[in-house]
Amino acid sequence: MTHNISEKLFALTQRNSAVREMFEEGNRLAALYGRENVYDFSLGNPNFPAPKKVKDAVVDILDSEPSTMVHGYMSNAGFSDVRAAVAGSLNSRFGTSFNAQNIIMTVGAAGSLNVILKTLLNPGDEVVAIAPYFLEYGNYVANYDGVLTVVPPTSPDFQPDAEAIGKAVTPKTKALIINSPNNPTGVIYSEETIKKIAAVLEAKQKEYGHAIYILADEPYRELAYDGYEVPWLTKFYRNAIVSYSWSKSLSLPGERIGYLVIPAEADDSALIIDAAAIANRVMGFVNAPSLMQRVVMHCLDERTDIAAYDSNRKLLYKGLKDAGFECAYPQGAFYMWVKTPCDDKEFCARAKKYNILVVPGSSFACPGYVRIAYCVSPKTIEGSLPGFKKLAEEFSL
């Protein structure tokens, strides 16, 4: 077939994201059966509203700050007072000593990851990801002609295996992506796991004589249940760079606002900071959305309703366990990771008969499981449970 678009993008048109496909399928089923009769657990799109303070901040800012400033261009790295406020907030929480220079405001975590990968990668450089992982990592790395290397999953607890990570690292490895709390498993990587990974990478850095960065992808940092602590990576590893976003913590995914933390002690820190701001510009983002930068500065201590997610977590977990499914109790994020009694894609097809939409584990490089995004209304969970029960009965669970 001939076409006029790039080969890379043509390939993507041929294999659209399974998550997005499910989402479209949800819309189709909702048109047929009514939205309330479709149990769509496909997309990590928060159902709970942004805290009231977000709206108040929008109104206050528009009323009180000069329009030319609020809506204007600024430094490619972001407003300096916003960057300073973010640094101060991190310092008070984690005992670090960042300043405005160490923070680059970005277009969400997706923007952060693309900016840092563009900053670090030459064609052929390798980036290690740990399965199961957010599949967009492959696309982001490919954007800069990098190569994604995948460490196999470690069931049943899905804490990464540091030794296996060491085996995946080669002289071409530039970075390891770590995502905790994890999408899709809901696992929080423990301090012990992080220390082991840091030790392995330190040894590899020495062996190869160059930096191997950890890119900590943390859009779910604030979504940790039962008092679980999410280790702050820069305390354990000098070359850790953190990517954050308010998409989930303030329920603002469409607003596209996040940041990168590039610590002063990281190798080539000053150069990376300069280059990341330039990457923001030349990739066409130019800067993170200006109004949202100002809004998040006023909402640094605000959080989404974690108790509501927690209640969903308990409701869904109990329903699935009572039906006979095997799944781990998530420690963070808003995903349930469930073992499938048959091929995971077949399971998703069978679930659709009950108007239940879930995403196959193969979409996260880990077949044999499905991901259920429980950032939905409790009614959706309650309504889905009879269908899950019938599904379990089909497999005599």
CB of 329 vs ligand PLP, minimal distance in Å: 20
| Span from 31-39, 103-111, 152-160, 207-215 in contact with ligand PLP (CB under 6 A) | 103-111
Which residue, 178 or 327, is less far from ligand PLP as judged by CB? 178
Burial pattern 53-72, b for ≥16 Cβ within 10 A else e, equals ebeebbeebeeeeeeeebee
**Residue 259 parent element (H or E):** strand 258-261
Cα–Cα distance measured from residue 207 to residue 340, given in angstroms and rounded to the nearest whole number: 41
| Span from 104-112, 200-208, 322-330, 344-352 in contact with ligand PLP (CB under 6 A) | 104-112
CB of 172 vs ligand PLP, minimal distance in Å: 24
Applying CB under 6 A, does 42 fall inside the site for ligand PLP?
Answer: no
Choosing from 50, 100, 105, 109, the residue that interacts with ligand PLP (CB under 6 A) is: 109
Binding mask 226-245 for ligand PLP (x = CB under 6 A): -------------------x
Applying CB under 6 A, does 312 fall inside the site for ligand PLP?
Answer: no
Which residue, 51 or 253, is less far from ligand PLP as judged by CB? 253
Question: Is the Cβ–Cβ distance between 78 and 339 less than 8 Å?
Answer: no
Which residue, 224 or 392, is less far from ligand PLP as judged by CB? 224
Dihedral sign (CA 35, 25, 9, 361): positive
Cα–Cα nearest to 370, from 19, 5, 4: 19
Cα–Cα distance measured from residue 45 to residue 248, given in angstroms and rounded to the nearest whole number: 8
Question: Is the Cβ–Cβ distance between 388 and 325 less than 8 Å?
Answer: yes
Binding mask 142-161 for ligand PLP (x = CB under 6 A): --------------------
Cα–Cα distance measured from residue 108 to residue 338, given in angstroms and rounded to the nearest whole number: 28
CB of 217 vs ligand PLP, minimal distance in Å: 5
Cis peptide, bond prior to residue 181, ω within 30 of zero: yes
Helix axes 378-394, 306-323, angle to 10 degrees: 20
Cα–Cα distance measured from residue 198 to residue 30, given in angstroms and rounded to the nearest whole number: 47
For every residue of 30-53, DSSP letters joined together read: HHHH-GGG-EE--S----SPPPHH
Question: Is the Cβ–Cβ distance between 357 and 25 less than 8 Å?
Answer: yes
Phi-psi region of 282 (alpha: psi -120 to 50; beta: other; left: phi over 0): alpha
- Beta-bridge partners for 178: 216
Which residue, 173 or 183, is less far from ligand PLP as judged by CB? 183
Choosing from 26, 46, 78, 108, the residue that interacts with ligand PLP (CB under 6 A) is: 108
Which residue, 160 or 253, is less far from ligand PLP as judged by CB? 253
| Span from 22-30, 106-114, 161-169, 281-289 in contact with ligand PLP (CB under 6 A) | 106-114
Which residue, 246 or 317, is less far from ligand PLP as judged by CB? 246
- Tell me whether residue 174 is exposed, middle or buried, using C-beta atoms within 10 angstroms of its C-beta: 0 to 12, 13 to 18, 19 or more: buried
CB of 136 vs ligand PLP, minimal distance in Å: 7
Alpha-carbon distances, residue 373 vs 153, 218, 242, 360 (angstroms): 20, 17, 24, 12
Residues between 244 and 263 with contacts to ligand PLP, criterion CB under 6 A = 245, 247, 253, 258
Binding mask 204-223 for ligand PLP (x = CB under 6 A): -------------x-x----
Which residue, 158 or 388, is less far from ligand PLP as judged by CB? 158
Binding mask 57-96 for ligand PLP (x = CB under 6 A): ----------------------------------------
CB of 134 vs ligand PLP, minimal distance in Å: 4
Applying CB under 6 A, does 44 fall inside the site for ligand PLP?
Answer: yes
Residues between 171 and 200 with contacts to ligand PLP, criterion CB under 6 A = 179, 183
Task: Give 199's contacts (C-beta < 8 A, 6+ positions apart).
Answer: 162
Which residue, 247 or 340, is less far from ligand PLP as judged by CB? 247
Provide the binding-site residues for ligand PLP, judged by CB under 6 A.
44, 108-110, 134, 179, 183, 217, 219, 245, 247, 253, 258
